[in-house]
């Protein structure tokens, strides 16, 4: 605001200064040319011993004054237009900058010159360009984040949906199924359906569940591992070690923990070699829950490109809880390591 006040009417003052400077220069030029011209004329007449009457002398001086006056006017206009032209050229430059902005060319900025209202205009346009760039950048980032979230949640919805289809197909084709087994599978289906609901709510921006303290962490892990075994045991040999996992408490969103194991399950299903065992070890030590999973990588006839969406989802979830996530590929072995902080 102070800058705007200081520059108020400054362009008008600069134009008046140009007029004044041009006027003074033209007056000086007039008298200088008049004196020189009159001196040259008198010298010329004197050398040729030509004497003029008073009327002739007055007429000569009038003609010289007239010529010098018009010369002074020409000098005034030339100097005025030259100095004013610099201001006009800068104004044209600013207008061209506005045209670039109109054509959505946000790469160019206007060079700031002078210290008047045109300077304010150039600074305002540059500020507008930078603001527009920032808005476009934020919009692009929001769009990328939204697309990434949609890909992530769509990927995570697939695993519980596949589990529901698998459990439903098992129940449908199982001839002799006990009530207890039927009830167990129905509970698993309901659990996966609830998980899909939570994920779709999150996809629609309706997520409102907060992290909660899980008092019996070991029991909760055992339940998730049980679901993982139910889904994979018909196709893979699983070696699961929970011997070093004592009871613990930790703060987590239940659906986030399920998403982690669903992504592990999906990764095993897609890329693990079913001719070798899958090793899963869960350890709780010094307020840290350490989850490792290791498997041989399946050999594909055709090259299969992995976008690592599941691994990115796990990493994003773990990072949001200040945990540690790493994965390694050594020779033909794939290994995941997850570290989650727990509480006493």
Q: What is the chain's mean pLDDT, rounded? A: 82
pLDDT at 1 > cutoff 50? no
Q: 31: how many CB neighbours lie within 10 A of its CB?
A: 11
Does residue 341 surpass a pLDDT of 50?
yes
Token pair for residue 176?
A: 């002799």
pLDDT for position 338: 93
Q: What is the pLDDT of residue 105?
A: 62
pLDDT digits (tens, 9 = 90+) for 203-231: 776 665 667 788 888 888 888 888 888 88
Cross-strand bridge partners of residue 178? none
Indicate if the pLDDT at residue 50 is higher than 50.
yes
43 CB neighbour count, 10 Å cutoff: 10
User: Rounded to an integer, what distance in angstroms lies between the CA atom of residue 100 and that of residue 109?
Assistant: 9
Q: What percent of the chain has pLDDT over 70?
A: 92
| pLDDT of amino acid 3 | 47
pLDDT of the residue at 195: 74
Helix residue ranges, H only, 174-275: 179-203, 217-232, 254-271
Is the model's pLDDT at 301 over the cut of 90? no
Give the span between the Cα atoms of 239 and 124, in whole angstroms: 67
Q: Are 68 and 34 in contact (CB under 8 A)?
A: yes
Q: Region 14-24: what's the mean pLDDT?
A: 87
- pLDDT category at 2 given cuts 50, 70, 90 is very low
Alpha-carbon gap, residue 115 to 103, rounded angstroms: 28
At 63-87, the pLDDT tens digits run 989 999 999 899 999 988 888 888 8
Range in 41-50, 53-62, 125-134, 224-233 the model is least confident about: 125-134
Q: What is the mean pLDDT of residues 74-101?
A: 82
Give the pLDDT of residue 54: 86
Q: Record the tokens describing residue 315, joined without a space.
A: 């990493």
Mean pLDDT of 295-308: 74
Q: Which residue has the tokens 């979830």?
A: 317
E-state strands within the chain: 212-214, 238-241, 250-252, 278-284, 288-296, 324-330, 333-341
Q: What percent of the chain has pLDDT over 90?
A: 16
Burial group, residue 261, by CB count within 10 angstroms (0-12, 13-18, 19+): buried
Residue 129 has pLDDT above 70, yes or no: yes
pLDDT recorded at residue 61: 86
| Distances, alpha carbon 183 to alpha carbons 55, 178, 189, 208, in Å | 133, 8, 10, 30
Dihedral angle over CA of 38, 41, 47, 53, nearest 10: -90
Q: What is the mean pLDDT of residues 183-195?
A: 80
Q: Looking at the domain 210-344, which fold is it?
A: Heat Shock Protein 90 (3.30.565)
Q: What is the pLDDT of residues 246-283, one digit of tens each?
A: 888 888 888 888 888 888 888 888 889 989 999 999 99
Higher pLDDT pick, 163 / 323: 323
Which CB contacts under 8 angstroms, 24+ apart, belong to 306-309?
Answer: 306/270, 306/271, 309/151, 309/152, 309/155
Q: What is the pLDDT of residue 171?
A: 82
Output the pLDDT for position 97. Answer: 76
Please report which confidence band the pLDDT of residue 100 belongs to, taking 50, 70 and 90 as the band edges: confident
Question: Is the full-model pTM beyond 0.75?
Answer: no
> In angstroms, rounded to a whole number, what is the distance separating the alpha carbons of residues 343 and 11?
69
| Residue limits of CATH 3.30.565.10 in the chain | 210-344
Nearest to 32 by CA among 76, 77, 62, 68: 68
| Lowest mean pLDDT, pick from 23-32, 99-108, 313-322 | 99-108
Residue 241: band (very low, low, confident or very high) from pLDDT cuts 50, 70, 90: very high
């Amino acid at each position: 605001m102070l800058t705007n006040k200081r520059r108020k009417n400054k362009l008008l003052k600069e134009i008046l200064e140009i007029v004044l400077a041009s006027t003074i220069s033209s007056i000086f030029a007039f008298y200088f040319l008049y004196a020189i011209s009159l001196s040259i004329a008198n010298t010329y007449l004197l050398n040729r011993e030509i004497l003029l009457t008073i009327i002739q002398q007055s007429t000569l001086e009038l003609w010289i004054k007239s010529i010098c006056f018009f010369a002074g006017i020409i000098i005034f206009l030339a100097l005025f237009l030259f100095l004013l032209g610099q201001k006009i050229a800068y104004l044209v430059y600013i207008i061209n900058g506005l045209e670039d902005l109109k054509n959505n060319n946000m790469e160019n900025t206007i060079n700031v010159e002078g210290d008047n209202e045109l300077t304010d205009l150039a600074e305002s346009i540059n500020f507008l360009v930078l603001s527009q760039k920032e808005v476009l950048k934020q919009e692009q980032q929001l769009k990328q984040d939204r697309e990434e979230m949609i890909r992530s949640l769509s990927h995570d919805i697939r695993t519980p949906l596949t589990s529901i289809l698998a459990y439903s197909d098992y129940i449908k084709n199982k001839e002799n199924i006990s009530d207890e087994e039927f009830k167990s599978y129905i509970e698993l289906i309901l659990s996966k359906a609830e998980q899909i609901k939570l994920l779709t709510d999150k996809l629609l921006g309706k997520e409102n569940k907060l992290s909660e303290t899980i008092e019996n962490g070991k029991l909760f892990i055992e339940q998730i591992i049980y679901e993982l075994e139910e889904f994979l045991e018909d196709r893979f040999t699983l070696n699961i070690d929970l011997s070093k996992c004592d009871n613990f408490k930790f703060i987590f969103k239940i659906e986030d923990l399920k998403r982690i194991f669903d992504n592990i399950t999906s990764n095993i299903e897609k890329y693990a070699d079913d001719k070798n065992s899958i090793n899963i070890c869960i350890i709780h030590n010094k307020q840290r829950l350490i989850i490792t999973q290791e498997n041989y990588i399946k050999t594909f006839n055709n090259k299969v490109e992995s976008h690592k969406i599941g691994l990115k989802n796990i990493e994003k979830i773990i990072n949001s809880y200040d945990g540690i996530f790493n994965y390694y590929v050594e020779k033909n072995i794939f290994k995941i390591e997850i570290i989650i902080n727990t509480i006493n």
